[in-house]
Amino acid sequence: MIASFKRCMDLVASTLALVLLSPLLILIALLIRLDSRGPVLFTQQRIGRDRKAFRIYKFRSMVDRDPDTIDQIAEGVIVTGRDPRVTRMGRFLRATSLDELPQLLNILKGDMSLVGPRPVLPEQMEVVPEAYRRRFDVRPGLTGLAQVRGRRTLGWIEQLQYDDEYAKRYGIFLDLWLILMTFYVVVGRKGIYGGAGKNWREYREELREKEAKKSS
């Protein structure tokens, strides 16, 4: 019952948002094209509910690269808006979270929800401990518990703990509260960038080192 109501809310909200925000979306698209070479949208494979893959949509905020050729394991963490990979327009989009707006299409399609755990990269699956895989029982979200409690400043395991908590507790009132809190976080520009030592790649290396010590 809750899941059905949540899906109805997603459909109505994403449709209204796409209609009302269409002038803004068109303006952003034009500014991206004027600012740098490459497509307006960045698409990338992510893992969602029931561990199924889908293509996520974002406004491109970085220099144009084929997303399927990016080595996610070796890719450095973006810890500042001055990173050379981020375009001038991209700095603004990331600071305001406007780069995420095309995910309204993912919500409309049913890949995502307004609220839920953020979808993970395929490469991140190996560092999601079994204890936290409940997060894949619900649709990934545009925003979620981890996003209002620290965003990118959180460590990888902290993010997963909040994702797990949401999957256990999710409901309409929690979703409404998280949507309201998201506006507060976005307006305050909180947690846009995180530290390089708190990411999933660092956690992956720790696991590999532990395995190497065990086998030696």
Express each pLDDT in 168-183 by its tens digit: 999 999 999 999 999 8
More confident residue, 78 or 98: 98
Instruction: Say yes or no to pLDDT of 197 above 60.
Output: no
Q: What angle do CA 121, 41, 92 make, to 5 degrees?
A: 90
Q: Which residues contact 17 (CB under 8 A, 6 or more apart)?
A: 104
CA torsion angle 66 58 113 73 (round to 10): 40
- What are the tens digits of pLDDT across the range 36-61? 999 999 999 999 999 999 999 999 99
Three-class secondary structure of residue 200 per DSSP: helix
- What are the tens digits of pLDDT across the range 93-147? 998 999 999 999 999 999 999 999 999 999 999 999 999 999 999 999 999 999 9
- Report pTM: 0.90
- What are the tens digits of pLDDT across the range 5-25? 999 999 999 999 999 999 999
Three-class secondary structure of residue 43 per DSSP: strand
Q: What are phi and psi of 121, to 5 degrees?
A: -75, 150
State the pLDDT at residue 18.
Answer: 97
State the pLDDT at residue 35.
Answer: 95
